[in-house]
Amino acid sequence: MESREKALRSLAFRAHWVECARHILEFHEAQQEKFGKVSVGRPTASSEKNGWGIKETAEDLNISIAMVSDYLNLGRALREDPSIKIRELRDALHSIRKKQGQ
């Protein structure tokens, strides 16, 4: 099953946040590998925006940019520390933000 389908299924079936975070991160990174990362900053008049960013992931999965950002941060945190054992999404976000100093 491709990464987009896994991400959509985990969202549709209200999977545990760990599964959603992993699948959304996997999909986002696969798309960035395919299309490249979005350039930082605004495109100039002579250039077009290209690449894949959070906005494109949000649009493709039909979820908010904020939700994609949260899931990507959680997915990266899980990659760094797979032993994270937080049950609730809200508590996991709070913990990650605290570690990031937000």
* Tens-level pLDDT at each residue, the chain (102 residues): 688 999 999 888 788 899 999 999 999 999 999 999 998 766 666 566 689 999 999 999 999 999 999 999 999 999 998 888 888 888 888 888 888 775
For residue 51, which amino acid is it? Answer: G
Q: Hey, is 94 helix, strand or coil?
A: helix
Number of neighbouring beta carbons within 10 Å of residue 89: 16
Could you give the dihedral angle defined by the CA atoms of residues 46, 65, 73 and 101, in that order, rounded to the nearest 10 degrees?
Answer: 90
How far apart are the C-alpha atoms of 69 and 72, rounded to whole Å? 5
How far apart are the C-alpha atoms of 94 and 102, rounded to whole Å? 9
| 90 domain residue, yes or no | yes
**pLDDT recorded at residue 89:** 85
Long-range Cβ contacts of 76-83 (<8 Å, 24+ apart): 76/25, 78/18, 78/21, 78/22, 79/25
**pLDDT recorded at residue 14:** 82
| 47 domain residue, yes or no | no
| 89 domain residue, yes or no | yes
| 43 domain residue, yes or no | no
How far apart are the C-alpha atoms of 27 and 47, rounded to whole Å? 26
**pLDDT recorded at residue 21:** 95
Per the structure, the count of domains in the chain is 1
| 59 domain residue, yes or no | yes
| 29 domain residue, yes or no | yes
Query: How many residues belong to the chain?
Result: 102
- Tell me which residue range forms the domain holding 32: 3-37+53-100
Could you tell me the pTM of the whole model?
0.82
| 28 domain residue, yes or no | yes
| 48 domain residue, yes or no | no
Provide the token pair at 65: 């940019």
**pLDDT recorded at residue 83:** 83
